[in-house]
Copies of this chain bind each other. A is one copy, B any other.
Amino acid sequence: MINIKKNILNKKIIIPEATKPVANYSPFTISGNLVFISGQVPIVDGKVAFTGKVGHDLTVHNGIEASRICMLNTFGILSLALDNKLELLRKCIKITVFVNSDKSFVEQPIVANGASNLIKEILYPEGNHARSAVSVNSLPLNSAIEIESIFEIALEN
């Protein structure tokens, strides 16, 4: 059984408040037992913590941190979507990781692990999820990373 509260406490993870969308859309939608989360950028306290191109302006280690922050923000939105009941999460279905980089960068999988590892910490001993990771040549607010995701939740009766 997943014990999300205990995992978060054990790992000293701090789920941030949901960040506001940067334009005219919603942070999430729910369809059946699936929650679709809008693309998250590494915003901390209202400001993008990692800007620029990974492997050029930023190290791979920076990219990993940025990717973890995107996923922290994702859990912040999940918490909002679930009325603070993160324990209703059942599965992470898929994440798509967009890495802002130049054309020679090939370490997207390492960078994306920043997000994947957080998912596994929070949903331990589950946490398996499908993933795609690709580079893009630019992102909103010059963010280093953007991550969109789909989660499965328990339906309350």
Interface residues of A (CB under 8 A from B): 21-29, 31-34, 36-39, 53, 91-96, 98, 101-110, 112-113, 116-117, 120, 128-142, 146, 148, 150, 152
Secondary structure at the A interface, as helix, strand, loop or mixed, is: mixed
Partner of A24, one of B94, B116, B148, B152: B116
Instruction: Please determine whether A94 and B29 come into contact, CB atoms closer than 8 angstroms.
Output: yes
Assembled-state Cα–Cα distance A113/B25 (Å): 8
User: What residues on B are CB-neighbors of A36 within 8 Å?
Assistant: 93-94, 130, 150
Instruction: Please determine whether B132 and A148 come into contact, CB atoms closer than 8 angstroms.
Output: yes
Closest to A77 in B: B130
User: Please, could you name 8 A-B residue pairs with CB atoms under 8 Å apart, sorted by A?
Assistant: A26-B130, A31-B91, A36-B150, A94-B148, A101-B138, A103-B137, A132-B148, A136-B136
User: What residues on B are CB-neighbors of A104 within 8 Å?
Assistant: 138
Closest to A105 in B: B138
